[in-house]
Amino acid sequence: TGAISSLQRQMEIKESELRRIRFEKELLQKQLREREVQLQAVSDKLCSLTEEQRQEEAMVMMEEENHNLQQVVTEQEFQLAEQNKLISELQGTISQLQAEVVTTRLQLLKQKQAQKETQSQVEALQHTELQTRVALEIISSKFERYRNKIIQATFSVEGSQDPQAELTDDEVLEAMQKIINERAEFQQMLKNKGSK
């Protein structure tokens, strides 16, 4: 937004310069027209003189006026050419600034769209995380119930002593392995004695 404001301010400055130069151009053209009017007045004055005076005065005045007018015309043509060149440059600069404004606005639009998409992804991940936490709690609860059942089954065997403290998973597995080994030994003994 700051970049767009800066570009717009630059455009306003350039457009102001362009208006000033066009005004100066019009002023120069007005001065040229005034010179033409003066020349016409001199010409009219010459017409009212006698032929001889007219010729003498006309020659002097025309040479002087032509010289002055030639200088003015040359100078003003040069100024007009410079101003036309400056107008062309300013118009090019304004076009460039307008293009930069459009480009900057497009970039801002893309950034907003990307931000919106990122926010949507974050919300989706948060939702997935919540679902995962709920599922983990359910699984943990089921695992704890299953573990308690295993402990209960393991230590409800005849001859087993109830645990005095909270058991680790390794201790539960060790107790179960002991029961399995004892049963296997008992089955082997029965088999050796010929019992089914």
pLDDT of residue 133: 94
Does this model's pTM top 0.75? My answer is: no
Residues 39, 69 contacting (CB under 8 angstroms) = yes
| Calpha distance 33→27 (Å, rounded) | 10
- 151: CB partners within 8 A, 6+ apart: 163, 167, 172
pLDDT of residue 162: 67
| pLDDT tens for the 196 residues of the chain, in order | 777 788 788 888 888 888 888 888 888 888 888 888 888 887 777 676 666 666 777 678 778 877 887 888 888 888 888 888 888 888 888 888 889 889 999 999 999 999 999 999 999 999 999 999 999 999 999 988 888 888 777 777 666 666 667 778 888 788 788 888 888 888 888 888 875 5
Angle between helices 2-48 and 51-155 in degrees, nearest 10 = 170
| Calpha distance 78→55 (Å, rounded) | 33
Listing DSSP states for 36-104 in one string gives HHHHHHHHHHHHHS-HHHHHHHHHHHHHHHHHHHHHHHHHHHHHHHHHHHHHHHHHHHHHHHHHHHHHH
